Amino acid sequence: MIRNALGKDSKVKETGSSSLLIVPIIGSNPATGFMVGIGGQYAFKMQGSNLYSLISGSLQATTKNQYIFMAKNSIYTKNEKIFFTGDWRYLIFSQSTYGLGTNAPEGGILDYQFNLGGLETGADSLAQPMTFNFARFHQTVGFKLKPGIYLGLGYHFDSFSKIVDQKLDLDPEEQLLTSHYIYNNAYNFETDKYYSSALFGSFIIDKRDNMIQPYKGYFLSLGFRGAYRAFGNKNNAEMFSGEWRSFHGLSRRNPAHLIGFWLMGDFTKAGDFPYLILPATAFDQRGRSGRGYTQGRFRGQNYVYGETEYRFPISRCGGVLGGVLFANGTTASNSTQNLNLFDSIKLGYGFGLRVKVDKYSRTNLALDLGFGEQSSGFYLAISETF
Q: What is the pLDDT of residues 54-70, one digit of tens each?
A: 999 999 998 878 899 99
Instruction: Give yes or no for residue 308 having a pLDDT over 50.
Output: yes
Instruction: Give Cβ neighbours of residue 40 (< 8 Å, ≥ 6 apart).
Output: 20, 21, 22, 23, 56, 57, 58
Closest CA to 361 of 85, 9, 42, 74: 42
Closest CA to 328 of 365, 294, 289, 300: 289
Domain hosting 88: range is 2-382
Comparing 5-9, 178-182, 254-258, 317-321, which segment has the lowest mean pLDDT?
5-9
Instruction: Give yes or no for residue 113 having a pLDDT over 60.
Output: no
CATH number at residue 360: 2.40.160.50
**Could you give the residue ranges of the DSSP H alpha helices within 99-177?**
none
pLDDT band of 376, cuts 50, 70, 90:
confident
| Predicted TM-score of the model (pTM) | 0.84
Count structural domains, the chain.
1
d(CA 303, CA 347): 14
Question: Strands 375-382 and 110-116: what pairing?
Answer: parallel
Instruction: Give yes or no for residue 175 having a pLDDT over 70.
Output: yes
pLDDT (0 to 100) of residue 33 = 57
Indicate the burial class of 362 (C-beta count within 10 angstroms; 0-12, 13-18, 19 or more).
buried
The H or E element spanning position 185 is helix 179-186
d(CA 42, CA 44): 6
Mean pLDDT, range 73-86, rounded to an integer: 94
Instruction: Give yes or no for residue 2 having a pLDDT over 50.
Output: no
Comparing 106-110, 226-230, 314-318, which segment has the lowest mean pLDDT?
106-110
Mean pLDDT, range 353-371, rounded to an integer: 88
